[in-house]
Structures are given as structure tokens and as C-alpha cells.
Amino acid sequence: MSRAVVLGGGLAGMLAAAALARAVDEVTVVERDQLPTEPQPRKGLPQGHHSHILMRGGVEALDQLLPGVTDRLYAAGAKRRGLPSGALARGPEGWMERLDTDAYLLLCSRELLDHVVREQVLREERIGVREGTRVTGLVGDADRVTGVRIEQGGAERTLDADLVVDATGRATSAPKWLVDLGLPQVREDVVDAGIVYVSRWFTAPPGTRDDFPGVMIQMQAGTGRPGQGAGLLPMENGRWILSLFGSRGGEPPTDEEGFAQFARERHHPIIADLIAQARPAGPIRAYRSIPDQRRRFEKLPVPEGFLVIGDAAQALNPVHGTGMSVAAQCALALRTELDVRGLRPGFSRNVQAAIAKINQGAWQIAVNTDQGLPHVRANVPLRGGAFANKMAARVARTGCGNRMVINTVFNVASLCAPMTRMMTPAFLWAVLRGPRTPALTAEQAIAQFPEFGDLVKVDAAPRSTASPA
Ligand SMILES: Cc1cc2nc3c(=O)[nH]c(=O)nc-3n(C[C@H](O)[C@H](O)[C@H](O)COP(=O)(O)OP(=O)(O)OC[C@H]3O[C@@H](n4cnc5c(N)ncnc54)[C@H](O)[C@@H]3O)c2cc1C
């Protein structure tokens, strides 16, 4: 009988368990928290108090791993919003025309997402969870991991396993555990722009339409000033979440007045005006210290029977909104490797290499922007420079009103296409030609969204949303 142990019962851990259950007789998830039976916050998931968007690439991977899960999420109140057709968006270089693209977001609280995923995963009889149990180390040697050490209620014991998957998140102890087995220290790449998130939940005002679009103001890099942005997003149960974010030197404040003022100063007061009509539904919470961080386990002689997935392998600045989608795509890669080759020698290294490849795409997206933020601290060479910043700005400006350009950009950002799509002659030619329509004013951009209803008053006729070629 084969047995896998998954360390951590967050999103990556649950999805890895689902992937493993197709090929392994028994899967045990070890989680230090007691997992809630309803969509509720928990101690081990502090980021759950902040907005979490799931990109199209993640939605599709999730649905392949757990058929029907996104329908269950929508039935429980999750929203689907086209990018940028379903949300008022301001990119780094201006307000975007309401163009249809292939990209979309799934929006719901992190608690609901984890709850619906967990319920479906744990329906599988081969998967069990040990809650309130902390992983303290690995068992085995530098060639093969044969189990884990766990601690529950003060008692220590060992769990044997043919495969151990670490999904304990950004603060994983896997690098130390591997050193304890005799492996070298894993290389860790860090690009730290000093990002801080400050968020609050609101009850939407009476009369808010179910198709309320939300507002997304992206941060701008390469200006010499800190990057700052905001996202007001519709969630389940008539709630909104507002997340404000800023890089080093431009962090959002956490007091009531400063919070509202920071929102008001984001190019247009629309977000501040909207939350002034809503009722706060919780405290203002901050999340600090969120660098781009990847651990290069694929460069180690990873022992047989061990691999690392999710934030434990790579955790990024969340303004790019890719962490959960990457976790889903990596779990799918794990399942594919199991389907194709099974638990044979070399399995761990193959999967770790596949995970590194998926991580690389999201890493590039994040670092390309973050390296252009001021006072960035990094232990890897940063490319960027004036030319790269100019090109990025031109892409962003052209994308505001060009369907082909913005479709490509959002397909890459939502992890549905590789970055090389932004290198094709057609894309580069469109960017060289630059914007073909005048930039939208904030009022024109807002007027594209009658779904705001009476909550937003603007004095502008909507401009044509027809896209130039
Ligand atoms: C402020 C913020 C906003 C974000 N917004 C987005 C977004 O919009 N879109 C997006 O895709 N991603 C977003 N992310 C990233 C996203 O939260 C992560 O990518 C995702 O949670 C990774 O899942 P994971 O399962 O790898 O790790 P986690 O969700 O951190 O889960 C790790 C689990 O391991 C458990 N654990 C840890 N140590 C042990 C141990 N020793 N023993 C037993 N159990 C243990 C923890 O309790 C936890 O349950 C955001 C992150 C932050 C910080």
C-alpha cells in the first residue's frame, strides 16, 4: 500500500492531496490549525483577511483538478469579472477602455474558496487530515525521505510515507529540514520592494447591483516614486473588500482617516466615495513584509520521496494576484507526472523541475514590475533600466485602448499564455505604433460602467468602446 503525507492544509496542500489521491492509496494532510467547517478565518491563514483574486489560469487548473468546483463557488456567491470588461481598471499608464478579452477573474473571499475546495477534496475517501498537528522535521537521509516527524498535543511521533509534499507556505522550514538530512542550503532568490497591504471588509450599500464591477487601480513602477494602488472588489454575501497597497516609502496607513485618504488619492476619489456609502464590516488590517521569494529546490539533488509546492517553493508580491493560480497549476503538473510516470525513481526531481518551470512565468511577471520600484532590495541581478521601463510604459499605455495588446497582456498576467506572446511581431508593431485613441478621462472610464448605478455620479458621456485593430 502506498502512502503520501502532505504538510500543510492550505490551498496548495489540499490541491496536492487531490492530485495524489488518483495514484496513491492513502493521503494524509498534516495541518497545525483546526480547520473550520464553515468559511471562516483561521490563525494559519493571516492573508485571508486581504483580497484574493483567482486568475483565469488558476480557475481552469482548479476545475481540472476538482471538476465542478468553480460552479460550486459561483453558486456560493463567487463572482466572475472579465478583465477589463467586468471591472473599472486603471493600469499603470491610464484608465482602460471596457474591452472584451479572454481573461477573467474569479472573486470571492479566501475563506469561501478554501472551504469549497476543502469540502470537495475531503470527500475523497483516500484523503484524511490530521488537524492541530505540527510538522517538526523529515525522516530519512539525503537520498530518500521516508516520513515526517509530527507533534500533536505535546506528543511527538513519526509518520511513514512513500512521498512527502511540503505545502507549509511562505514560512516553510523545508530548507532547514533538508540541511538536517545532509543536503546543502537551498538557494533563495529575493526581490523585496517592501510591499504592505492594508485591507478592510465592508457591507455594500443597499441597492448595490449584483453585477457591481469593482474598481482596480494598479501600481506604477519606474517613476522613482513608490508604487501605490487599490482594489475594491465585490465578494459573496453582499460584501466588498478594499485592499490598499504600497511599496517601501509609500505604505498605506492603518488609521481610519489615513485609510480613506489613501483611497481618495488614487487618481480619482471613486473608491473613497464608494466606501463612504458602505458599512465597515471589520477592522483595518495590515500585512507587511511580502517580498518576491523563490527557493530553488529544483537546483538541489532533491531526495527521492520529497517535493515542495505552493508558497513554500515560491511566494510573490500579491499585487500580481498569481500565488493561488500557480499553486493550482503546480498541483496539476504533479497529477500529470503521476498519471504519466507514476511514483518511480526520479519522480520528485521531475515534478520539482515542472513546478520550477511554472513558477518561472509568474516570477518574471512579478519581478519585471517590482524591480522598477524604488528602494528595492534584492539578492539577484535586476535587469530593468530606463529602456525596459519605457517599453513597459508604452505597452501599458497602448493596452488602455487596443484590444489585441490588452488581450495579450492579460492572457500573460492571468497565466494563460507565456511571456513570449509579448514578443511576437504583431504585438511589438502595435506597441511601436502606440495608442491610436486619446486616453480616457476618469469620468469617461467610469461612465462605461452603468452597473455602478446610483452609487457613482459622473458627468461624462460614455465614449465608444469599439477597439481599434
Ligand atoms: C496580503 C496577501 C494577498 C494575497 N492576494 C492574493 C491574490 O489576490 N491572488 C492570489 O492568487 N494569491 C494571493 N496571495 C497569495 C496566496 O495567499 C498564496 O499564494 C497562497 O495562500 C499559497 O497557498 P499555500 O497553500 O502554499 O500556503 P498557505 O495558504 O500559507 O498555507 C500553508 C498551510 O500550512 C500550514 N502550516 C504551516 N506550517 C506548518 C507546520 N509546521 N505544520 C503543519 N501545518 C503547517 C498553515 O497553517 C497553512 O494552513 C496573497 C498573499 C498575501 C499575503
State the Cα–Cα distance between residues 2 and 211, nearest whole angstrom: 48
pLDDT classification of 390: cutoffs 50, 70, 90: confident
pLDDT of 320 over the 50 cut: yes
Strands 163-166 and 188-192: unpaired
Peptide bond into 450 cis (omega under 30): no
Rounded to whole angstroms, what are the CA distances from 2 to 9, 135, 149, 162, 274?
20, 20, 18, 6, 54
pLDDT classification of 467: cutoffs 50, 70, 90: very low
Mean pLDDT to the nearest integer, 425-454: 95
State the Cα–Cα distance between residues 413 and 408, nearest whole angstrom: 9
Q: Report whether 334 contacts 16 (CB < 8 A).
A: yes
Annotate 246-295 with DSSP letters as a single string: E-TT-PPP-SHHHHHHHHHTSSSTHHHHHHHTSEE-S--EEE----EEEE
Annotate 357-399 with DSSP letters as a single string: HHHHHHHHHHHHHHTTSTT-EESS----HHHHHHHHHHHHHHH
Q: Any bridge partners for residue 82, and if so which?
A: 104
State the Cα–Cα distance between residues 131 and 138, nearest whole angstrom: 18
State the Cα–Cα distance between residues 257 and 51, nearest whole angstrom: 21
pLDDT of 436 over the 90 cut: no
Q: Report whether 359 contacts 326 (CB < 8 A).
A: yes
pLDDT at position 469, please? 37
Mean pLDDT to the nearest integer, 98-108: 97
Rounded to whole angstroms, what are the CA distances from 96 to 101, 430, 438, 449?
12, 16, 11, 12
Ligand 1 pocket, 311 CB below 6 A?
A: yes
Residue type, 47: Q
Ligand 1 pocket, 48 CB below 6 A?
A: no
- Domains, in order of start, for the chain: 3-45+112-189+293-367 (3.50.50.60), 53-108+195-288+384-469 (3.30.9.10)
Mean pLDDT to the nearest integer, 329-354: 95
pLDDT at position 51, please? 98
Ligand 1 centroid to residue 169 C-alpha, Å = 5
Mean pLDDT to the nearest integer, 217-223: 93
CB-CB neighbours of 383 under 10 Å: 10
Q: Which atom of ligand 1 is nearest to the CA of 309?
A: 26
> Can you tell me which residue has the cell 520521496?
305
CB-CB neighbours of 243 under 10 Å: 23
pLDDT of 373 over the 80 cut: yes
What integer best gives the mean pLDDT of the chain? 96
Ligand 1 pocket, 52 CB below 6 A?
A: yes
pLDDT tens digits, one per residue of 160-212: 999 999 999 999 999 999 999 999 999 999 999 999 999 999 999 999 999 99
Q: Which atom of ligand 1 is nearest to the CA of 55?
A: 11
Rounded to whole angstroms, what are the CA distances from 344 to 219, 305, 335?
45, 10, 14
Ligand 1 pocket, 310 CB below 6 A?
A: yes
DSSP E strands, 94-178: 94-95, 104-107, 127-130, 134-140, 145-152, 155-160, 163-166
pLDDT at position 466, please? 46
State the Cα–Cα distance between residues 237 and 204, nearest whole angstrom: 9
Q: Which three cell numbers stand for residue 84?
A: 477589463
pLDDT tens digits, one per residue of 261-287: 999 999 999 999 999 999 999 999 999
pLDDT of 416 over the 80 cut: yes
In this structure, which residue's CA is closest to atom 12 in ligand 1? 323
pLDDT at position 458, please? 84
State the Cα–Cα distance between residues 202 and 215, nearest whole angstrom: 14
In this structure, which residue's CA is closest to atom 45 in ligand 1? 8
pLDDT of 462 over the 70 cut: no
Ligand 1 pocket, 12 CB below 6 A?
A: yes
State the Cα–Cα distance between residues 178 and 426, nearest whole angstrom: 47
